[in-house]
Amino acid sequence: MNLVRSHVLVCGGTDLSSSESEKIITEFDVRLKNAGLENEVSVVRADSSDLCASGLVVIVYPEGAFYNVTKPDDVKEIVEEHLVKGKIVKRLLCDESAEAGSDVKPLSEIEFYKKQLRIALKNCGIIDPENIDEYIAFDGYKALGKVLTEMTPEQVIEEMKKSGLRGRGGAGFPTAIKWEFAAKQPKGVKYVCCNADEGDPGAFMDRSVLEGDPHSVIEAMAIAAYAIGSEQGYIYIRAEYPVAVKRLQIAINQAKEYGLLGKGIFGTDFNFDLEIRLGAGAFVCGEETALMTSIEGRRGEPRPRPPFPAVKGLWGVPTILNNVETYANVPQIILKGAEWFASIGTEKSKGTKVFALGGKIKNTGLVEVPMGTTLREIVEEIGGGIPNGKKYKAAQIGGPSGGCIPAELIDTPIDYDSLLSIGAMMGSGGLIVIDEDSCMVDIAKFFLDFTVDESCGKCAPCRIGTKRMLEILERITSGKGTVADIENLKDLAEGIKSSALCGLGQTAPNPVLSTLRYFEDEYMAHVVEKRCPAGVCKDLLQYTISKDKCKGCNICAKNCPVSAISGELKKPFVIDPDICIKCGVCEGKCPFKAISRK
Amino acid sequence: MKTLADLEKIKNKTLDKMNIRADREEGIRIVVGMATCGIAAGARPVLNAVSDEVSKRNLKNVVVSQTGCIGVCRLEPIMEVYAPGKDKVTYVKMDAEKAVKVVAEHIVNNRPIKEYTIGEADK
Amino acid sequence: MADNKTIPFSGTPEQEKKLRAVMEKYKDTKGALIPVLHEAQEIYGYLPIEVQKMVSEGTGVPLAEIYGVVTFYTQFTTKSKGEYKIAVCLGTACYVKGSGEILERIKSRLGLEVGDCSADGRFSIDATRCIGACGLAPVMTVNDDVYGRLVPDDIDGILDKYMK
């Protein structure tokens, strides 16, 4: 049996005589014979196709290309280009296809991307993260080469200083100052660490960088190591990110194979090696001293600073720690220059920031915008606003250490200092949009619940103080709170802020303080009126039947699991609030929407 | 690898292989977003379907690759097509069946399937 | 929290051999306790006191310190897990989209609390921190299957699949 490689189907259009298609078939036969393909390609005549009704259609399989053929020369081209060389002849593809694609919107014109500027995420979504060659194709490792062959460690630090890059993991400490501090320590063993323990609930920027562009972090860590005089680095990453861990390990192995990690990098006497350390699920390990204790294999508890890690860090030697996003900016700064980087953003916050946009917003996703972009631009233009016609209530930024930004401040530019001045903080970049359906006291409780759970227990203000705060919030949300409770909350919060040992403890009261600052009326409604304005706190809900809408059909009473509803048929029914367990079944069952909760 | 010149060599070789140079005359690159969110939304069957279809149809000079997060989590799985001389086309909310159709219509017959693209996602 | 109603520890010689090999591999690595424990948990599924003792003997780290580390990190568990590990994400994005109600529904359906494993060893429930699939919020996972954009009424259908 002959094995046929390709099939050519010749279909006569409706208004073409069959002789036309005969001619084309003959032409194919001749051309194929000339090319020596007569046994590899079979030419078949088919019934008319309704796809290109206006002309003669030739379909070539297995590719499935639809050609519109009008003259014998077209056949020649199809045979020579497609059947011999395997190239589809674009020119001859069916007419209606030619312009069909022209009105497809390119990504750059989609609102979501218009205001974005990608530096840290430059390669994410473009290159194959498991292929070092593709990273190199986009100028990867060029910055490391430049640094090692053309710059002194001092010049690297100077360049970083000029760029104005600040830490992207939380407090926004200038990166170059850390490096300089560590570089000035006496020669000897030093370490470079990367914080990839992205613990903020709702944040996944670092994960995305590591999954999409792991080499950028490796390259940056090597640059940092050269700047401070280190030969060993550690990446501390959450075990909850298996894909990121796998890609990072592949990337490290490839870099070693290429000699971009190891001994004598770029033919110089610079050596650098890198190891991955897995976290084990402890939020506090995102704090720098706790992270280092965890790498050492112990309980990840923080210790007082000073001494700062740049002087006495991992295993007691000078260590620098930066987070993933911070590192991802470094190669770009070296390649494109500090001036370029410093030209982006605001006076005191340079460059861009990546946010994980989530919650009640249309376009959840990962966005990178220049510093100084307003919250309104992020929420309304990039994020596409709030779904289901609901109203914006607040945005929670910075996770359990951050605060919320209410509607009246939605025009705040997002940079380190503006955020601090309104009682929020940049944090690592979680940005959760909250609409009118959420109760701010409940949100504060959610975050406090998180910190109580994650408090390592080493210092009393955090261990005991946050627990007491949570208890007060639980009282308030269950309707047992008093006005004095609100004052107590404030006192406790200030006390914890000023006396906790580490950054986690010191910032733990922020979600409470910031909701109190902007939504004190909601707290007051809970304690004074015993009412939850958003209708979230179950204990404060009251189900009522509207006298006007109720038709007395009895459906609610039949469905009530505790028989709290009573009434006479065809007359308005009533709910006994003392029996009602607020399960909400009646609300769903009422055919007249007569039952509401308040 | 010892010098910047070595790096440059890899760069040029890879750029050709990736089908991504803006001034190239032919060669198509298809990428599927395979970060955690993409995988969770079902990107793996999409990537497999595209690879299978491209090899089944015996298409030359088409590179199929995974990539990281493209950004719009809401619309995952996402697949993008880079064709020479054109803006890249972003397909959203893909599944294996749609992906196979894109290969047939867009890659072979140069007829992007507008209804699957990001610009149409909310219509 | 309720007592762990599961099977007593029953390690096999093969498991022990694997654990010894892991400890050998990390012999010269600085600060290797956490990686060793990760792999030990891979081997046994959890880290009961019996396993901790073996790690202590093998690495020379005092048992008290190992116990301290195991109980400090939430990823390490001293209780065995079910054949189907159900995890509900309680990250912020999932929480504001109602993952709390999802968790309640699962708890009442299975009659288990968070952290428990069912008496027949089939199901265990965990509440997890953000798993990074915020675009699909609210999210739960059963072993490696991810379920997103959930509403409480989806739960019965999902659990039914694993009940057979």
Helix (H) or strand (E) holding A470: helix A466-477
CA–CA distance, A115 with A224 (Å, rounded to integer): 31
Q: What is the dihedral of CA C26, C31, C37, C40, to 10 degrees?
A: 0
| CA quadruple B33, B36, B38, B42: dihedral sign | positive
**pLDDT band at A102; cut points 50, 70, 90:** low
**Cβ contacts (< 8 Å) between A258 and chain B: which residues?**
1
- Minimal CA separation from B116 to chain A, in Å: 10
Handedness of CA B108, B113, B116, B118 (dihedral sign): positive
The hierarchical CATH code for the domain A352-435 is 3.10.20.600
pLDDT of C110 reads: 92
C-beta of residue A72 within 8 angstroms of C-beta of residue A30 = no
Considering only residues 559 to 578 of chain A, which have any Cβ-Cβ distance to chain B shorter than 8 Å? none
Residue from the list B57, B71, B104 with its beta carbon closest to the beta carbon of A366:
B71
A300 or A114, higher pLDDT: A300
Is pLDDT larger for residue A329 or for residue A202? Answer: A329
* Element of type H or E holding A46: strand A41-46
Q: Which of C136, C142, C144, C145 would best serve as a mutation to test chain B binding (most B beta carbons within 10 A)?
A: C136
In the beta sheet, which residues pair with residue A58?
A10, A67
Average pLDDT, stretch A54-80? 83
A124: nearest CA partner in chain B: B68
Of B90 and A428, the one with more pLDDT: B90
Give the residue-averaged pLDDT of B115-121.
87
Distance from CA of A209 to the nearest CA of C (A): 13
* Fold assignment, C84-163: Glutaredoxin (3.40.30)
Lowest mean pLDDT among A73-87, A337-351, A400-414, B103-117: A73-87
**pLDDT of the residue at C52:** 96
Q: Is residue C1 scored above 50 in pLDDT?
A: no
Return the ∠ at Cα C88 (arms to A457 and A297), rounded to 5°.
40
Instruction: Calculate helix-pair angle for A324-336, A142-150, nearest 10 degrees.
Output: 60
C-chain residue closest to B40, CA distance: C146
Residue B86 pLDDT: 84
For residue C153, CA distances in Å to A388, A476, C150, C158, C159 come to 20, 30, 8, 10, 11
Residues from chain C that touch B74, judged by Cβ atoms under 8 A, are 135
Angle at A333 between CA A330 and CA A337, to 5 degrees: 160
B37, B44, B72, B76: best to mutate for the C interface, most C CBs within 10 A: B37
Residue C78, SS3? coil
Average pLDDT over residues A287-302: 94
Name the nearest CA neighbour of B61 among B104, B10, B107, B112. B107
> Hey, is A418 helix, strand or coil?
helix
Residue A188 is classified by DSSP as S
Span A458-464, average pLDDT: 95
Chain B contacts of C132, Cβ < 8 Å? 36-37
pLDDT band for position A293 (cuts 50, 70, 90)? very high
For residue A181, pLDDT over 80 is answered with yes
Query: What band does C90 get if pLDDT is binned at 50, 70 and 90?
Result: confident
- Partner-chain contact A125 B67, CB within 8 Å: yes
Residue A97 has a pLDDT of 45
pLDDT given for residue A98 in this prediction: 43
Chain A neighbors of B109, CB-CB under 8 A: 64-66, 93-94, 97
Put simply, the answer to whether A300 touches C73 (Cβ < 8 Å) is: yes
Domain A6-114: CATH superfamily, name plus number: Glutaredoxin (3.40.30.10)
A438 contacts on C by Cβ (under 8 Å): 96
Burial of A220 (0-12, 13-18, 19+ CB in 10 A): buried
Q: Give kind and range of the element (H or E) at residue C147.
A: strand C145-147
Question: Which residue would you say has higher pLDDT here, A14 or A303?
Answer: A303
Provide mean pLDDT across the span A434-460.
92
Cβ distance A418 to A405 under 8 Å? no
Q: Indicate left, alpha or beta for A431 from its phi (over 0: left) and psi (-120 to 50: alpha).
A: beta
| C90 has a chain A CB within 8 A of its CB | yes
Find the helix or strand (DSSP H, E) in which A10 lies.
strand A6-11
Among the ranges given (A50-54, A213-217, A359-363), the one the predictor scored with the smallest mean pLDDT: A50-54
Provide the b/e sequence for A37-65 (b: ≥16 CB within 10 Å).
Answer: bbeebebeeeebbeebeebbbbbbbebbb
B71 with A124: Cβ contact below 8 A = yes
Residue of C131, C132, C136 lying closest to B41 (CB–CB): C136
In angstroms, rounded to a whole number, what is the distance separating the alpha carbons of residues C136 and B77?
11
Of A28 and A319, more confident:
A319
Q: Give per-residue pLDDT as tens, A231-259.
A: 999 999 998 888 899 999 999 999 999 99
> How far is the C-alpha of A522 from the C-alpha of A436, rounded, in Å?
12
Question: For residue A414, what pLDDT band results from cuts at 50, 70 and 90?
Answer: very high
Mean pLDDT value of segment A373-401: 93
Contact yes or no for C132 and B36 at CB 8 A? yes
User: A11 - beta bridge partners?
Assistant: A46, A57
Cross-chain Cβ contact B73/C131 below 8 Å: no
Specify the pLDDT at position A494.
Answer: 95
Q: Quick check: A317 pLDDT over 50?
A: yes
| Mean pLDDT within A186-214 | 92
Strand partners, A158: none
Residue of B nearest to A150 (CA): B4
A 192-211 → B contacts, CB under 8 A: 204, 207-209, 211
What is the model's pLDDT at position B71?
Answer: 81
Q: B90 to chain A: which residues are within 8 Å by CB?
A: 106-107, 110
For residue A454, give the 3-state DSSP assignment.
helix
Q: Residues in chain A whose beta carbon is closer than 8 A to a beta carbon of chain C? A: 199-204, 207, 239-241, 277-283, 294-300, 315, 356, 358-360, 364-365, 396, 399, 430, 432, 434, 438, 443, 446-447, 456
Strand bridging mode B28-33 / B62-67? parallel
A95 touches A68 (CB < 8 A): yes
Gap from C132 CA to chain B (nearest CA, Å): 7
- The residue in chain B having the minimum alpha-carbon distance to the alpha carbon of residue A143 is B4
**What is the C-alpha to C-alpha distance for residues B29 and B17, in angstroms, rounded to an integer?**
10
Q: Which of B50, B59, B74, B114 is the best substitution to test chain A (most A C-beta atoms within 10 A)? A: B74
CA–centroid distance for A541 within its chain: 35
For residue A12, pLDDT beyond 70: no
Q: Is C38 on the interface with A (CB under 8 A)?
A: yes
pTM: 0.86
pLDDT category at C5 given cuts 50, 70, 90 is very low
User: Of A64, A134, A266, which has the smallest distance from its Cβ to B2's Cβ?
Assistant: A266
- The fourth-level CATH superfamily of domain A132-342 is NADH-ubiquinone oxidoreductase 51kDa subunit (3.40.50.11540)
Residue A104, pLDDT > 60, answer yes
DSSP state of A42: E
Mean pLDDT of chain A: 90
Find tokens 């780290």 and name the residue.
C61
* Annotated domain spans of chain C: 13-72, 84-163
Buried b (16+ CB within 10 A) or exposed e, A227-263: bbbbebbbbbbbbbbebbbebbebbbebbeebebbee
d(CA A594, CA A545): 6
At residue A46, what is the residue type?
A
Is C133 an interface residue toward B (CB < 8 Å)? yes
Closest CB from C132, C135, C139 relative to B74:
C135
Cα Rg of chain B (Å, integer): 15
Burial degree of B83 (CB within 10 A; 0-12, 13-18, 19+): buried
Mean pLDDT, to the nearest integer, of C151-161? Answer: 91
CB contact under 8 A, A239 and C92: no
User: Mutate which of B6, B15, B108, B113 to test chain A, going by most A C-beta atoms within 10 A?
Assistant: B108
**Domain spans, chain A:** 6-114, 132-342, 352-435, 440-527, 541-597
| Cross-chain Cβ contact B68/A213 below 8 Å | yes
What residue ranges do the domains of chain B occupy?
24-120
Query: Subunits touching A (CB < 8 Å, at least 3 pairs)?
Result: B, C
| Residues of chain B positioned with their CB less than 8 A from the CB of A94 | 109, 111
Q: Which of C6, C89, C90, C72 is nearest to C45 (CA)?
A: C6
Write the DSSP string, A318-370.
-EEEEEHHHHHHHHHHHHH-HHHHHTSB-SSSBSEEEEEEEES-SS-EEEEEE
Place of tokens 């196979």: B100
Is domain B24-120 classified as CATH 3.40.30.10?
A: yes
pLDDT bin (cut points 50, 70, 90) of residue A100 is very low
What are phi and psi for residue A143, nearest 5 degrees?
A: -65, -40
Q: In the sheet where B89-91 sits, what is the strand order?
A: B62-67, B28-33, B79-82, B89-91
Distance CA A380, CA A107 (A): 18
A149/B4 touch (CB, cutoff 8 Å), yes or no: yes
Distance from CA of B80 to the nearest CA of A (A): 9
* Residue A572 predicted with pLDDT over 70: yes
Q: Return phi, psi of residue A437, to 5°.
A: -80, -10
Q: Give the mean pLDDT of B47-75.
A: 91
Shortest distance between the Cα of C14 and any Cα of chain B, in A, equals 33
Whole-angstrom Cα Rg for chain C: 18
Number of CB atoms found within 10 A of residue A506's CB: 17
Please indicate if any CB of chain B lies within 8 Å of the CB of C132.
yes
Contact B68, B31 (CB under 8 A): no
Q: Is A256 on the interface with B (CB under 8 A)?
A: no
> What span, in angstroms and rounded, lies between the C-alpha atoms of A520 and B64?
55
Grouping H, G, I as helix, E, B as strand and the rest as coil, residue B113 is coil
- Among the residue ranges A23-37, A117-131, A227-241, the one predicted with the least confidence is A23-37
Contact at 8 Å (CB) between C151 and C136?
Answer: no
Q: Which CATH number fits domain A440-527: 3.40.228.10, 1.20.1440.230, 1.20.210.10, 3.40.50.300?
A: 1.20.1440.230
A274 pLDDT more than 90: yes
Q: Which of B72, B79, B120 to mutate to test the interface with A (most CBs of A within 10 A)?
A: B72
pLDDT computed for residue A57 by the predictor: 81
What architecture is domain A541-597? 2-Layer Sandwich (3.30)
Residue to mutate among A110, A128, A352, with most B CBs inside 10 A, is A128
DSSP string, A374-416: BHHIIIIIIS---GGGPPEEEEEESGGG-EEEEGGGTT-B-SH
Which residue stretches of A18-110 are H helix?
18-34, 72-77, 85, 95-98
- Return the pLDDT at A2: 59
Element (H, E) at A435: strand A430-435
Structure tokens at A68: 């519109």
Distance between CA A155 and CA A178 in Å, rounded? 15
DSSP classification of residue A462? I
CB-CB under 8 Å, B58 with A63: yes
A6-114 matches A440-527 in fold: no
Asked if the C-beta of C62 comes within 8 angstroms of chain A's C-beta atoms, the answer is no
Check pLDDT > 80 for residue A282. Answer: yes
